[in-house]
Amino acid sequence: MKNRKTQIVDLALQLIREKGYVAISYDDLSKQLGVTKASIHYHFEKKEDLGLALMGKVQENLEQFLKLIKSSVMTVEEKLMLYFERQYAPLSSDEICPISSLQSDFASLPDVIRVKVQELSEFEIKVITTILTDEQGTKPANQSKDIEAVVYTVLSCLKGALQYKRALGKDVLSLVQTQINRLVKS
């Protein structure tokens, strides 16, 4: 059943946003899907396989978004807003960004996963850099000498906002968005 496989990955993705890679257990997954642990092991022999599959999905998602903004005519601000709305705003109040979840577990990750976390982190950096560089956009590119610094700042803000949102139950996301806009507009 191909459907079961994607079902597993989707659930794992949700759990990674909620609890992180290490805290995901085959027991969790199997109970929530109404199958046995062995059944999950059939689809993903080792936990690392599941981890890689799940991160592949995150990457695909980012790649699609990158294509979208490369082929559409929007201002830098519009693209950035679209990124917020697509990638961060939809997350529920007990979820954080899957990439920052993986980054947090960094010290406990097996090597293959760790490498993939680096790849994913860098890919997201690339997406935001592309947005701020605004190659096809209608507005002149950001004038700041240090786009790199702005990129890391933007992503750190978004990821941090989700952490605070979950821990304190406050809508920190919209707060930091105002500050991100100030930085980008300069």
Q: Residue 9 — φ and ψ, nearest 5°?
A: -60, -45
Q: What distance in Å separates the CA atoms of residue 8 and residue 52, rounded to the nearest whole number?
A: 13
Q: Residue 85 — φ and ψ, nearest 5°?
A: -65, -35
Residue 42 binds DNA, judged by CB under 7 A: yes
The binder of DNA chosen from 11, 18, 19, 37 (CB under 7 A)? 37
Q: What distance in Å separates the CA atoms of residue 73 and residue 91, rounded to the nearest whole number?
A: 26
Residue 85 binds a copy of itself, judged by CB under 8 A: no
Q: State the binding partner of 1 from a copy of itself, DNA, none, CB within 5 to 8 A by kind.
A: DNA
Residue 172 binds a copy of itself, judged by CB under 8 A: yes
Residue 159 binds a copy of itself, judged by CB under 8 A: yes
Q: What distance in Å separates the CA atoms of residue 90 and residue 85, rounded to the nearest whole number?
A: 7
Q: For a copy of itself, which is the closer residue by CB, 118 or 138?
A: 118
The residue to which tokens 């990955």 are assigned: 9
Residue 183 binds a copy of itself, judged by CB under 8 A: yes
Least Cα distance to 95 among 15, 9, 8, 11 occurs for: 15
Which residues make up the interface to a copy of itself (CB under 8 A)? 18-20, 22-23, 94, 96, 100-101, 103-108, 117-118, 121-122, 146, 148-150, 152-153, 155-161, 163-164, 166-168, 172, 175-176, 178-180, 182-183, 186
